[in-house]
Amino acid sequence: MLDRPNSASSDLTITKRPCCIIAELALDVHDVVLDGVVRWLVLDRALFREATRFILKRKGDAVRLRILGEDYPAVITGTTAEGYELRFDKPLDPDVVDDLVSRHLTDE
């Protein structure tokens, strides 16, 4: 899994908490929507795992992560076998992140 940088100057540094939130990833340029799950979520980043067997290598694509009907604009910052790491255009509200992760927390 890609690790987010831990910078002393960043006020967004938060420990990733594993979760399993059903979501969609919309690639606007290609008019494609991928079904999958969010594996971890923090204020400014998330890891989305496509539901298919294979992950296509992508980076720099503008996307929208749709969680429970709400769209969060983001950019794909990297791809691994674990999924797509996304950086949100604007940090999410801490209460929203805490609520989503707490309701969908996993042991993994």
Digit-coded pLDDT (tens) for 11-62: 445 677 789 999 999 987 767 888 999 999 999 999 999 887 667 788 899 9
Asked if residue 86 is part of any domain, the answer here is yes
Asked if residue 3 is part of any domain, the answer here is no
The DSSP result for the chain, as a single string, is -PPPP--TT-TT-----EEEEEEEEEETTTTEEEEEEEEEE-SSEEEEEESSS------S-EEEEEETTEEEEEEEEEEETTEEEEEESSPPPHHHHHHHHHHTB---
Q: What is the CATH number of the domain that holds 61?
A: 2.40.10.220
Digit-coded pLDDT (tens) for 43-56: 999 999 988 766 77
pLDDT on residue 14 = 62
Question: How many structural domains comprise the chain?
Answer: 1
pLDDT on residue 10 = 43
Reported pTM: 0.75
pLDDT on residue 3 = 39
Is the pLDDT at 108 greater than 80? The verdict is no
- Segment 96-106 mean pLDDT: 89
